[in-house]
Chains A and B, each alone.
Chain A
Amino acid sequence: MSRRLAWPLAVLAVAVAALLSLAVGTRAVPPAAVLDALLHDGSSPDALVVRSLRLPRTEVGLTAGAALGVAGAALQAVTRNPLADPGILGLSQGAAAGVVLAIALGLASGFAGYVWYAFAGAVVAACLVYGIAARGRGGASPVKLALAGTALSAMTAGGTTVVLTSSSATLDQFRFWQVGALSGRDAGTVGRMLPFLLAGAVLVLACARGLDALALGDETARALGHRVALVRVTAASGATLLTAAAVAAAGPIAFVGLAVPHLARRLVTSGGYRAVLPLSALLGAGLLLAADVVGRVVRAPAEVPAGVMTALVGVPVLVVLVRRKGAVS
């Protein structure tokens, strides 16, 4: 495949995935009827299904996938670490702890209410994992980040388990959030998260050139006139905002942030991170929507949540990356 075709193909893939996401499901809607439902205010059952159920779901998939893709690319550049990913870094468990706390204390119910607590939990977890892994000799190495994420995950999981085993009502609500899925989100989900998504995207894109320079090493980046610490902090906080918003909207979704940037980097020929970041957004959106659509089909009429599908697809990617020479210092 010629690499010049990467952009049009990515756009096409996202469009096809979005269309499939609107059309495929327990009630199959023909593409013509989908367009009709989107463009006109029909009140046929098909139109209602598309507009009230599948449209919010597709929106969440598009934005969460794009956010995770960009966040993964930025995190991998900042940590100079091909294995950085929100799931491995413990952000998802942090968000989960926030949600459990919210449910158990009766602060929120329903996916719409969880959003803020998930957001806060993910941000706190991000700060802790970075802070702990960066201490000590050698800075935030891949293994230290992964282990700090694992440790924090285990610790918060212990805390949430105490709550979940003692209160079955909490478990009943939480287990559906925890799995990471696009279904059951209401129409306002994306709107609530949009400010954070935009802020995060702006922060990350603003330092795209700085991320290119970071890849050359701190010394060289400094010699080229970049403020290394500023670039790091800006990009990392942007990525954290994006991840937290995505997890809040869709639940913990593994491996999109890990696999997509690698794919994007292979497809991009020039332009560095100014090209990798937007392409990661496109590919992330396409991948998450595709996983969701496949999850609806493989066990019909039941659904496999998108979070499970991405985890099952993502692990082979992780293994290949780890086995490749130089991935692990």
Chain B
Amino acid sequence: MEGAKGAGPARPTAAAPEPAPARPDSTPARPDSEPPAPAHPARAAGRPALLPSPHSLLLRPSPGLSLLLNRRSLGVAAVLVVGLAALMALAACVGQTFVAPGAVWRTVRGESTPYDLVVNELRVPRIVLGALVGAALGLAGALVQTVTRNPLASPDVIGVGHGAAAATVLALATGAVASPGAVPPVAVAGGLAAAALVYVLAWRHGMRPSRFVLTGVGVGVALSAVVQLYLTDSELAAAEQVKLWLTGSLNGRGWEQAGPLAVVLLLALPALVWAGRAAGPLGLDPETAAALGVRVDRTRLGLTVLGVVLAATATGAAGPIGFVALTAPQLARRLTRTPQLPLVCSALTGAVVLVGADLAARTLVPPLEVPVGALTSLVGGPYLLWLLGRGGRRQV
């Protein structure tokens, strides 16, 4: 799936008039003097010289199946996996009490050590949840940015976070639930509903990305007005609790939240494989993509739904954590240098960013815990402004 290529014959050039059908390589090889007909890209698939870039790697496990991978993406993914593992190990050791790596390993394996509470009950669930939330947000960001063709769009911008917050607050105000931590399903539903509302409102003879973003900003403002109303109406203690949830924090979260998120990520895997293939042509302008035989609006809808579901589930698990979904795909693409936003590397980058941010939030001001969402906003806001001010090629 890496590099947005899946099973199927390698497409030698983007100029192929239509996606090549999977075709067994039964055509006899032509003599070299005859140039290959450009209208039959499948025939050219057997020629390693026609790979799209020198970094490409073609795997052919069986005659009917071929995988086109990007060597650099593979390398980056491997480095990210190692980095994530190292960061998670570090996060398990560091905190108010330092636990030596050896002791952590023994504790995790189930031997009885004095650190059972700290490591197994507090740190490990939190770290795993952080990695899962980061991965889901990274994926969601990559999908939404592919759809809007805009590096500044993210699930936060199109209303998922605000919708989740407003739904949570409404559930609390009506007394349906007792504490903001207990309402992941409500938050997920709210995020989905808000994104659907934005999509419907922004739809007018097709989807214009800029209209999508502006409608999302407006709906977000209205939903945050609802949240503010609750904040002024409630008791101070309830307001503090909600404010903390609204910032997004991994504090006190664990397996309960990580379980459903892991299930959703697993269920989304087949869809993600499809998305990895479908996202490629959407990087071109809509007319070209349509000319290549892509059903642009339908593909966009599919990718948006997938991204919004992932973002809403992650928000339900940890509260609205800003800017991970925005920055992770952009960082990942700068690392892999692929034309599309790489899905696997975005997920890994998101996990690295969130685990790292949570580690920093726990340890920066020792007795105090900064909510991780505040930290990512403080770091991510300037990054978004820098993207805007840079005026590069991919401006809106």
Contacts and interface: CB of A to CB of B under 8 A. Distances in A.
Do A and B interact with each other, yes or no? yes
Interface of A: 83, 87-88, 132-133, 135-138, 141-144, 146-148, 150-152, 154-159, 161-162, 164-166, 168, 171-172, 175-176, 178-180, 254-255, 302, 304-305, 307-308, 311-312, 314-315, 318-319, 322-323, 328-329
Given A135-B391, A137-B395, A254-B221, A176 B232 contact: yes
Interface string B354-391: 00000000000000101101111110111011001111
A88 B217 contact: yes
A315 B219 contact: yes
B389 A135 contact: yes
Given A136-B389, A148-B388, A175-B232, A328 B244 contact: no
Nearest to B240: A168
B381 A151 contact: yes
Contacts of B152: 147
A117 to B, nearest CB: 19
Contacts of B291: none
Nearest to B225: A311
Contacts of B231: 175, 178-179
A161 B373 contact: yes
B29 interface: no
Contact of B384 (A151, A305, A328): A151
A166 B323 CA distance: 22
B236 interface: yes
B218 to A, nearest CB: 4
23 contacts: A135-B388, A138-B395, A142-B210, A143-B396, A144-B388, A150-B157, A150-B384, A154-B322, A158-B378, A161-B243, A161-B247, A161-B374, A164-B243, A171-B243, A175-B232, A178-B231, A179-B232, A308-B228, A312-B222, A315-B222, A323-B211, A328-B214, A329-B210
A178 B391 CA distance: 33
B160 interface: no
A323 B204 contact: yes
Given A311-B221, A322-B214, A323-B201, 20 more contacts: A83-B214, A132-B388, A136-B392, A143-B213, A146-B214, A147-B152, A148-B385, A148-B388, A152-B381, A154-B323, A154-B381, A158-B322, A158-B381, A165-B374, A254-B221, A314-B221, A315-B222, A319-B218, A323-B202, A328-B208
Contacts of A318: 214-215, 218
A314 B222 contact: yes
Contacts of B244: 165
B228 A143 contact: no
A310 B285 CA distance: 38
B240 A165 contact: yes
Contact of A322 (B215, B240, B375): B215
Secondary structure of the B side of the interface?
Answer: helix
Q: Pick the most buried of A136, A161, A176, A319: most chain B CB atoms within 10 A of its CB.
A: A161
Contact of B233 (A136, A302, A311, A312): A302
B229 interface: yes
B374 A150 contact: no
B226 interface: yes
Contacts of A161: 243, 247, 371, 373-374, 377
A151 B370 contact: no
B221 A88 contact: yes
Contact of B247 (A136, A165, A307, A322): A165
Interface of B: 152, 156-157, 201-202, 204, 208, 210-211, 213-215, 217-219, 221-222, 224-226, 228-229, 231-233, 236, 239-240, 243-244, 247, 322-323, 368, 370-371, 373-378, 380-382, 384-385, 388-392, 395-396
Contact of A165 (B225, B232, B371): B371
A328 to B, nearest CB: 5
Nearest to A329: B210
Nearest to B204: A323
Nearest to A315: B222
Contact of A142 (B214, B219, B370): B214
A302 B378 CA distance: 36
A178 B229 CA distance: 10
Contact of A158 (B211, B225, B374, B392): B374
A229 B243 CA distance: 43
A233 to B, nearest CB: 20
A265 B75 CA distance: 59
A105 to B, nearest CB: 17
